[in-house]
Amino acid sequence: MSFPTGTILGYPRIGRRRELKRAVEAFWAGRITADELEATAAELRAVTRARLVELGLGKTDSSIPEAFSYYDQVLDAAVTVGAIPTRFASLVKPDGSLDLAGYFTIARGEGNNTPAEMTKWFDTNYHYLVPEIGPETDFHLASDRLIREVAEATTSGYRTRPVIVGPVTFLLLSKPSEGAPEGYQPLDRLDDLLPVYAELLAALTAVGAEWVQLDEPALVSESIDVPRSAVLAATAKAYDLLAAVPVRPQIFVAAPYAGLGDALPVLDKTAIEAIGLDLVRGTIPTGFTTTKTLVGGVIDGHNIWRGDLAGAFEKLTALNALSPSVAVTSSTSLFHVPHDATDEPLLADQLKSWLAFADQKVGQVATLAKGLVEGKGAIQGELDAASAALKDRHDAVGVRDGAVRARAEALAPSDFARGAYADRLAAQDAALHLPFLPTTTIGSFPQTGEIRKTRAAFAAGRISEAEYKEAMRAEIRSVVELQESIGLDVIVHGEPERNDMVQYFAENLDGFAVTQNGWVQSYGSRCTRPSILWGDVSRPSPITVEWSTYTQSLTPKPVKGMLTGPVTILAWSFVRDDQPLRDTANQVALALRDEIADLEAAGIGIIQVDEPALRELLPLKKSDQPAYLDWSVNSFRLATAGVEDKTQIHTHLCYSEFGVVIDAIDQLDADVTSIEAARSKMEVVPDIQSSGFGRGIGPGVYDIHSPRVPSVDEVTDLIGIALGSIPERQVWVNPDCGLKTRGYDETVESLTNVLAATRAVRLQHAH
């Protein structure tokens, strides 16, 4: 069977109203059974298949991807091939499989068993769970879930295309298991893993799959710590073997997030049938022809703009010079974007006409597929409509603001620089009087149902502004009292007024819009609503000053003002694509610079500007990285460089491999940097030590992405690891990230243990 002319690489899996999130969390809480959760998931899959047919994909031509996940696609692959961390061996049933409870335990941890490490999926805000592969890992086909889901579709009259992370990417994204010998790499186990994939392919054929999609995004990345020659050799070996499986579906290898480069001819030499190319981030290959189907990813799966449909069709036409068989798809899975732009009552009609969420992108794919079959004339009307929307967007009021642009153009080098760190350190010591191992949190405290109800009531006009503010002040008072009772040294206000660390600022800056139903999955059941940065950015009035000054009035301890940094605001929003990111970042930085000046003037002596997404946006191609690191670092410095020496600037980064950007983190020139480190057991510390990082550093000692409460001994050990490699005067003690998603009981117990451990270490060092 030929490859479908139009398809997508994946579709949002959480449900239009986050039905999966609610069901999963109800299962965790014991309110529903595993069977009830399975029923909800089956219903969501059925709704998705029907919706994709309604939007223009074929019911029986393998154009619908079977790509559901309860938590994470990498965890799914690990469970499928039996790669269960040894500390969870007791969860494995006699037949080698896991039930749903065991699956979620790997993701969330249990008791003294820490969850699988979590990190960012390439250059996106999605987090995947890192498999742990050692010489002892017993690869076998341990889960038939994907097989059952394809059979479910077949029984319902659909011919879908199963999707799984490919074997090369799976091993490249894995980490050596604890105790693995020095020099060992998970890729060393490729020969043992491939027979399991071969068995899976045969089983998928038996339930009706005619095509299978193997996702290999690691092939486009130059940031993986394995020699490129080894990656290419593994790719050739893997797909020579899998293509030789006697009874199998036809193989489609998808490689999103950048161009395939030198991996393309390697794949072409194998006997697979179709290759996917990201033609949004990548370009049309030159000097290359093939008889395989080339699947052009010309519809941007990573952003929400309607885009240049005529230009996309031109790219597909250009592919015809490389292969007689061309199909159209999204550049990435559509789980990076919300469901439906028409389902947004808060957005202006003009703005909505510029947008394409997942459903609209499926429609665009169907349109382009029609053009491939029937010719450009058959879709000229749709191409012209998209071009008209582009022109309307360019000319709209607010997209370009002369005053904002003039301010950015007038910037001088001095606007990006602070004084010498030694002078700042002396001024801050005199102003703040902090102890050895100062303790703090990252900013947010648990957001209870009552807080969310209060915000919703205010937004709906059911309570007055005065009532709303008093409710927020009451929560702040409670949070301050809690921190003082626990013994934290630097106080935060807990951020009860903030629905999201980016959306809150987007709602208070010109140039942004926010959605009502624009949810996307960040990790597991955690969903966010990225804001839409559509125009030039400015700050009409102060945003956080009132809350920070109120907090400072409640305590003699220093209060930390909390802002989200320019790079993270860009990374966690859907950003305009009509100008360089550098220009947009500087506009956001200038708005934050104004906010920081007002906080400082109001007496706030510590200001944290969070940049958890600094590593996330790093381009996958090395040639593109220097320019990115230059503008990203400078945007942070532009935001923070206007303060006096005595004002201590903090930043926070989380869930990324820091070694590749440690120099950039240093160049941010923050006085204190807090980073994720607990789940990885301080793996980042050697990078800090070898870099000679000389300012304050707070490697996290409490993994807030798990409901586990770390013991005093566990935290003590982590602090000890940090102190063993980092000069004592530099070390801070803090959680990995904000506490917004945690409950108060576990938060209080965890922070109490953190402070007990800190006091114990202080006593040890006092002697």
Helices (H) and strands (E) in the chain, counts: 26, 21
The partner residues of 581 in beta bridges, in order of sequence, read none
Q: How far apart, in whole angstroms, are the C-alpha atoms of residue 671 and residue 645? A: 10
**How many Å from the N-terminal Cα to the C-terminal Cα in the chain?**
75
Residues 389 and 534: beta-carbon distance below 8 Å: no
Residue 229, judged by CB atoms within 10 A of its CB (0-12, 13-18, 19+), counts as exposed
Beta strands 274-278 and 250-254 are parallel
What 3-state DSSP class applies to 212? strand
CA gap 517, 507 in Å, rounded: 15
DSSP letter at 368 equals: H
CB 284 within 8 A of CB 275: no
Catalytic residue check, 767? no
Instruction: Look at residue 400 and give its three-state secondary structure.
Output: coil
What one-letter code names the amino acid at 457? A
**Catalytic, out of 394, 705, 765, 767:** 705
250-254 vs 606-610, strand pairing mode: unpaired
Structure token digits, residue 152: 């479910």
Look up tokens 């045969």; give the residue: 202
What order of strands is seen across the sheet that includes strand 696-699? 560-564, 606-610, 648-653, 672-675, 696-699
In whole angstroms, what is the distance from residue 458 CA to residue 455 CA?
Answer: 5
In 3D, which of 442, 440, 445, 447 has the Cα closest to residue 491?
Answer: 440
Residue with tokens 């808060």, as numbered in its chain? 346
Q: Which residues pair with 299 in a beta bridge?
A: 330
DSSP state letters, 81-130: TT---GGGGGGS-TTS---HHHHHHHHH-BTTBPPPPEEE-TTSS-EEEP
| Gap between the Cα atoms of 577 and 709, Å rounded | 43
Task: Report how far residue 541's alpha carbon sits from residue 535's, in angstroms, rounded to the nearest whole number.
Answer: 18
Tell me which residues are annotated as active site: 705
